[in-house]
Homo-oligomer: A and B are copies of this chain.
């Protein structure tokens, strides 16, 4: 298929073309950069929402419920599930994809699992590029579900406009998370399984860590996101979100991070989460932060593409590899070091392509 036809079919919602385009990008197959380059002007419609948290936090269930709520509002939804495959088990750490079945047959929903093992272009980069393809295909919302077991998974979260950090009361992860400096990636905090013991305490600890200490500030959070009008199912954790008087929406530029309670398995609190996502998008737009975040991502993306192109150039279009091979005996005998050889190679590159 000619590239113009491919882009047209992609934008027209052709699912097989979409699936092939994603595989092309994931596997760095010929023409993938040309494809990404040609869809670039069409990007920006989709809201990219990261959903991350430790294993066992119920992210898959929460994601599925959120898809249902977003569909009920009339949005089309793509889900990118980043499974950090264990090299030992060959299995996914994220758990049971089968629960997504309630939405998998909906033509307004597209679900794609991405394996992290052997990701040719780096997990975070590839995920961002796959999201571009989904954005070009016209989806209103892209949910990026990723389990936080490594730095690369955290980097995935940074590709979203809004990041939801999901914690659960029982494991003690919550409190540890507060100490670990990972809090900064969350725009919205969710205490899932909030009908279990310790949910209130975890929510309070998150709020304390966020600096939301006083009752006024807490009410402000709810008002800020228009959450005070919602009823969420009556669990102890979500009850807290409905107390207190309505307050006018603040126009200030500071984002007051909501701390929500959900019971994803029962669907409780998920509509409040959807509203909080709308609230964050509104805040991003009104303050200009959305443009700023997207510019930062564009800068990072371009840097990554330059690094990739530079490696391609160095190792496939110059004599760098041959130069190392020529010095291998000297390296093995200790007559020179990798650092000295690297300086020689770099000097060659700096003087032009004739290394």
Contact = CB atoms under 8 A, between A and B. Distances in A.
A310 B346 contact: yes
Contact of A310 (B148, B149, B305, B349): B349
Closest 6 CB pairs of A and B: A41-B334, A90-B180, A40-B337, A37-B339, A305-B342, A302-B338
Judged by DSSP, the binding face of A is: helix
A186 to B, nearest CB: 11
Contact of A331 (B34, B298, B308, B315): B298
Interface in A137-169: 148-154
A124 to B, nearest CB: 13
B324 A180 contact: no
Given A295-B332, A310-B346, A36 B339 contact: yes
A173 interface: yes
A335 B41 CA distance: 7
Interface string A289-322: 0010011001101111111111101110000110
A325 B299 contact: yes
A114 to B, nearest CB: 14
A176 interface: yes
Nearest to A52: B88
A311 B116 CA distance: 24
A339 B34 contact: yes
A173 to B, nearest CB: 6
B342 A306 contact: yes
B309 A346 contact: yes
B148 A86 contact: yes
Nearest to A84: B150
19 contacts: A37-B338, A40-B334, A40-B337, A41-B335, A87-B180, A88-B149, A89-B180, A116-B151, A149-B149, A150-B150, A150-B152, A302-B342, A305-B338, A306-B324, A306-B342, A306-B346, A310-B346, A313-B346, A313-B350
A345 interface: yes
Contacts of A343: 309
A181 interface: yes
Nearest to A123: B151
Interface string A226-238: 0000000000000
Contacts of A112: none
A128 B315 CA distance: 22
Contacts of A324: 299, 302-303, 306
A342 B37 CA distance: 11
Contacts of A53: 88
A43 interface: yes
Contacts of A294: 332
A286 interface: no
Contact of A87 (B87, B148, B172, B320): B148
A87 B179 CA distance: 10
Contacts of A148: 86-88
Contacts of A42: 334
